[in-house]
Amino acid sequence: MSTAAEAGRARTRPTSRAYWLRRSPVGRFIKRLAFWVLIAAIFIYALFPFYWAVRSAFTPPSELFNTPIQYFPTHPTLANFRDALNTDFFRRALLNSTIVAGSVTLISLLIGSLAAYALGRFRFRGRSAVLYLMLSMTIFPQIAILGALYTMISNFHLYNTLGALILTYLIFTLPFTVWVLTTFMRGLPGDLEEAAYVDGATPIQVFYKVLLPLIAPGLVTTGLLAFIAAWNEYLYAVSFIQTPQNYTVPLAITSFVGKSGQAFQVPWGSIMAATVIVTLPLIAATLVLQRRILAGLTAGAVKG
């Protein structure tokens, strides 16, 4: 059956190219050349700024502020990385951001998977209303509640603490986690669950013994996306955090100043080293989980 279809398709495959381009070797060459030029252009466009940060991070400051510009560090050095890591608030920021993003991710996954279990595997009145609420929360403009949060946080004496960020970041990570995990929960077949119920399992046992292991890939992907969102957040961080020892990574990146004696000069070498340090783990995680992230994006786009 399928082979017949394949054969049929092979026979009628005059692909969609203009006639002369397909027939003449010159035309074909030009077409292939144009295609690869485009591919190369996209490749360079996507990667060049990151390459530039890497090359600036490895270039000694003396060469960094010299013209003509070197496109490749002729005397690569680790001095910028040392400077960045020796900056107190930057080291603290790495720790702070890990604490904040880690806690937010864990809380979101914990609360979110329970909610997703209810929304994905139960039928009850009000279910779609809750789903709509969660979906509308994912596009909620965070700026719209800044003033209220600002006064709430100062009333709770959370101003200038990491707790303020952990609390407020849930606004964007939790609804998103609920929404994505619900689609994962819904996609599971019902048989295993029924078998477990027949064996006398309680709904809670079904949840953490049957369903949770099955959506583990979903938990990893969603967790990573929530972590990245919290790691990158800037608006609330810049509004609720004041002292350098509580800075998160985005605050630290924007706070590097020149050493005494050259205060007028922005220490671009250290800044670029810092950007490379904070970005590499994210890029690595993204590339490792690439297929899963793409699958998640695909599911969203198709369902939308």
Residues 99-158 that bind another protein (CB under 8 A): 111-112, 114-115, 117-119, 122-127, 130, 133-134, 137, 139-152, 154
Residues 232-291 that bind another protein (CB under 8 A): 232, 234-235, 238-239, 249-250, 253-254, 268, 271-272, 275, 278-279, 282-283, 285-287, 290
Of residues 20, 29, 43, 156, which one binds another protein by CB under 8 A?
43
84 contacts another protein (rule: CB under 8 A): no
190 contacts another protein (rule: CB under 8 A): no
Q: Determine how many CB atoms are found less than 10 A away from the CB of residue 139.
A: 9
Take residue 9 and report the two structure tokens written for it: 């398709």
95 contacts another protein (rule: CB under 8 A): no
Pick the closer one to another protein by CB: 81 or 231. 231
Instruction: Give the number of residues written for the chain.
Output: 304
Residues 207-236 that bind another protein (CB under 8 A): 228, 231-232, 234-235
Helix, strand or coil, per DSSP, at residue 74:
coil
Distance CA 267, CA 258 (A): 5
30 contacts another protein (rule: CB under 8 A): no
Of residues 68, 190, 200, 261, which one binds another protein by CB under 8 A?
68
Helix, strand or coil, per DSSP, at residue 60:
coil
Choose the stretch contacting another protein; rule: CB under 8 A; options: 8-16, 78-86, 183-191, 193-201.
8-16
Minimum distance between the CB of residue 288 and another protein, rounded to whole angstroms? 10
Q: In sequence order, what are the residues at sequence separation of 6 or more whose Cβ sits closer than 8 angstroms to the Cβ of residue 182?
A: 115, 116, 119, 120, 131, 134
Distance CA 105, CA 88 (A): 26
Element (DSSP H or E) covering residue 222: helix 216-232
Pick the closer one to another protein by CB: 123 or 191. 123
Minimum distance between the CB of residue 174 and another protein, rounded to whole angstroms? 6
Pick the closer one to another protein by CB: 184 or 231. 231
240 closest CA partner among 174, 169, 158: 158
Of residues 203, 214, 217, 244, which one binds another protein by CB under 8 A?
203
Query: Residues touching another protein: how many (CB under 8 A)?
Result: 98
Pick the closer one to another protein by CB: 29 or 140. 140
**What single-letter amino acid sits at 235?**
L
266 closest CA partner among 49, 52, 56: 56
Distance CA 213, CA 68 (A): 57
Distance CA 76, CA 161 (A): 39
Pick the closer one to another protein by CB: 14 or 200. 14
Query: For the chain, give me the number of helices (H) and strands (E)?
Result: 17, 0
Of residues 87, 103, 105, 168, which one binds another protein by CB under 8 A?
168
Of residues 33, 39, 95, 192, which one binds another protein by CB under 8 A?
39
Minimum distance between the CB of residue 189 and another protein, rounded to whole angstroms? 19
What letter does residue 206 receive in the DSSP assignment? Answer: I
Nearest-10 Cα torsion for 284, 288, 290, 296: -110
